[in-house]
Amino acid sequence: MSIKYIDTVELKGKRVFLRVDFNVPLDPEGNITDDTRIESVLPTIKYCLDQGAVLTIASHLGRPKGKVDKKLSLAPVARRLGELLEKEVGFLNDCLGPEVERTVSGLKPGEVALLENLRFHPGEEKNDPDFARSLAKVAELYVNDAFAVSHRAHASVAAIIRFIDECAAGLLMKEELDCFDQAMENPQRPMVTVIGGAKISGKLETLKNILKKVDKLIIGGGMAFTFLKAQDYQVGKSLVEEDLLKRASEIIGLSREKQIRLYLPVDCVIADRFSPDAESKVVPAQEIPEEWMGMDTGPATNLLFSEVMADARTIIWNGPMGVFEMEAFSKGTRSMASCLADSPAFTVVGGGDTIAAVRQEGKSAQISYISTGGGAFLELLEGKELPGIKALKEKTKGESF
Ligand code: AMP
């Protein structure tokens, strides 16, 4: 059973409550420093307005912990949204209550208002049904276009669905789920997954689920050293999770059993300390001196990984190949970004650091799909069903009986 999307719903004259992710980065003066998150839901907003819906938009911003924090007001987002839409966007000082209900009921088809930060109320993060019921009062149709928040069972994503008769997902959600499905569930093969980042602990479930799907698995970043040590390599002071050595061996064994080709770094850029101006050199993965630590994949590894991906028809990438925040240790990650950008495969990238690395390299436009959801993307990779998606599916199922 799939979910219903807004392009199959009658919107004309309908009061729509649209949940989006406007959790944009702000500078200390409260200016928006990157409006990608606003841009990414413009297609849904424009579609609703063109179809003659009456639109009320809701989002969270930052972590105000259930209290009003004026520094985390969505007022600057309302202004920016108005500029992007070239249209007046009304801003409401709260997200519920009689005044909000009165203002929204005065809106006409094609008009739009943005509610104040949902997380100014503790009920949002608690998935409180009373809070959700109050939010629902302004709407006849609920639309979730906040993929990046759909892994959280929060009131505006989960509980609210019980209190609005008709529910659907937006166009960004459709794109996210379609691309993920194309990459992970119905991939063109060979399918290669590249996993990097600091630790295995955060990605164990991801690795286990991926082993059910991939043809080739590339492991880089800090987590590679636990895999190397599990094979008795000396890794010096590199990041190692001692308690996961056995799990790493199991993953290596499982990949052999399933005839999945697993690739680990064959050389590394090592440093004498964890610092941007540390002394560094390239060594084979077998020759990391005791007092040194692995900070990045080496040139032989970068070449090897590019050869592994040469015949790929699908590539999914999450997690940097090294400590890419430090220029001296960013080559592996940058090389990976270029490999994906130059590949004719269907390429999907997710996760904050990985996306930042692709942007830094100026390669975003050459990636088939960049997911807007960090945690949500990882949970999909883990094979989990996201609470927001599950709630929409159940609603769609209920409607079809
Ligand atoms: P994650 O959030 O697990 O994707 O990890 C991202 C972080 O992993 C980045 O901040 C990188 O600096 C870090 N990282 C990547 N490679 C290494 C490494 N070899 N040693 C330590 N940290 C690393």
Least confident of 88-102, 103-117, 383-397: 383-397
CA of 249 to the centre of ligand 1 (A): 21
Strand pairing report for 369-370 and 346-349: parallel
Q: At 56, is the secondary structure helix, strand, or coil?
A: strand
More confident: 146 or 399: 146
Task: Let me know: does 377 contact 175? Beta carbons within 8 Å.
Answer: no
The two structure tokens encoding residue 2: 């799939």
Residue range 44-53, pLDDT digits in tens: 999 999 999 9
- Would 110 be classed as within a structural domain? yes
- Does one domain contain both 324 and 391? no
Statement: residue 89 has pLDDT above 60: yes
pTM of the model: 0.92
Average pLDDT over residues 147-173: 97
* 352 carries an active-site annotation: yes
CA distance linking residue 118 with residue 162, whole number of Å? 18
Query: Is pLDDT above 60 for 243?
Result: yes
Check residue 46 and give its pLDDT: 98
Q: Give dist(CA 321, CA 351) in Å, integer.
A: 13
198 plus 88 within the same structural domain: no
Question: Rounded mean pLDDT of the chain?
Answer: 96
Task: Please compute the mean of the pLDDT values over residues 93-102 and round it to a whole number.
Answer: 97
Query: Confidence class of residue 30 from pLDDT cuts 50, 70 and 90?
Result: confident
Residues 47 and 161 in one domain: yes
| Coil vs helix vs strand at 2 | coil
Structural domain includes residue 108:
yes
Check if 202 is active-site: no
* Cα gap 219→198, rounded to integer Å: 11
199 is catalytic: yes
Mean pLDDT to the nearest integer, 218-232:
97
Whether 59 and 201 share a structural domain: no
Q: Which of residues 171 and 204 earns the better pLDDT score?
A: 171
By most ligand atoms within 8 Å of CB, the mutation choice from 239, 335, 336 for ligand 1 is: 239
Q: What type of residue is 354?
A: T
- Look at residue 354 and tell me if it is in a domain: no
Share of the chain above pLDDT 90, in %: 94
**Percent share of the chain, pLDDT over 70:** 99
Are residues 46 and 40 in contact, defined by beta-carbon separation less than 8 angstroms? no
Torsion of CA 66, 68, 70, 74, to 10 degrees: 60
Q: Annotated catalytic residue: which of 375, 383, 384, 390?
A: 375
pLDDT (0 to 100) of residue 93: 97
**pLDDT confidence band for 74 (50 / 70 / 90):** very high
User: How many Cβ atoms sit within 10 Å of the Cβ of residue 162?
Assistant: 14
Residue 94 and residue 147 in one domain: yes
Residues 6+ apart with CB under 8 A from 25: 32, 33, 34
Q: Which residue range(s) make up the domain with 162?
A: 6-172+385-399
Distance 221 CA to ligand 1 centre (A): 6
One-letter amino acid for residue 368 of the chain: S
Evaluate if residue 389 carries a pLDDT over 80.
Answer: yes
Does residue 137 carry a catalytic annotation? no
What is the identity of the amino acid at 227? Answer: F
Starting at the edge strand found earlier in the chain, the sheet holding 112-114 runs 89-91, 112-114, 54-58, 15-19, 141-144, 166-169
Whether residue 349 lies inside any domain: the answer is no
Residues 327 and 210 in one domain: yes
- Do 207 and 318 lie in one domain? The reply is yes
My answer on whether 234 and 335 are in the same domain is yes
User: Do residue 26 and residue 132 come from a single domain?
Assistant: yes
Q: Is the pLDDT of residue 1 over 70?
A: no
Q: Where residue 397 falls among pLDDT bands split at 50, 70, 90?
A: confident
pLDDT tier, 2 (very low <50, low <70, confident <90, very high otherwise): confident
DSSP string for 147-203: GGGTTS--TTTTGGGGGSSEEEE-HHHHHHHHHHIIIIIS--SSEEEEE-SS-SGGG
Is 364 domain-assigned?
A: no
Q: Which atom of ligand 1 is nearest to the CA of 203?
A: 3
Average pLDDT over residues 31-41: 94
Whether residue 401 is predicted with pLDDT greater than 70 in this model: the reply is no
For residues 193 and 227, state if they share a domain.
yes
Residue 375 lies in a domain: no
Tell me the CA–centroid distance for residue 365 and ligand 1, in Å: 24
Q: For residue 66, what are the contacts with CB-CB under 8 A and spacing of at least 6?
A: 119, 120, 121, 122, 123, 124, 125
Q: How far is the CA of 237 from the centre of ligand 1 (A)?
A: 15
Mean pLDDT of 176-203: 95
Tally of domains in the chain: 2
Per-residue pLDDT at 255? 96
pLDDT of 45 reads 98
CATH of the domain at 309: 3.40.50.1260
Are residues 164 and 213 both part of a single domain? no
Atom of ligand 1 minimally distant from the CA of 354: 4
| Chain mean position to CA 45 | 20
Lowest-confidence segment of 33-37, 165-169, 187-191 by average pLDDT = 33-37
Query: Using a 6 Å cutoff on CB, does residue 322 contact ligand 1?
Result: yes
What is the per-residue pLDDT across 292-344, written as a single tens digit (0 to 9) for each?
A: 999 999 999 999 999 999 999 999 999 999 999 999 999 999 999 999 999 99
For the chain, the distance separating the N- and C-terminal CA atoms, rounded to the nearest angstrom, is 12
Mean pLDDT of the region 90-108 = 97
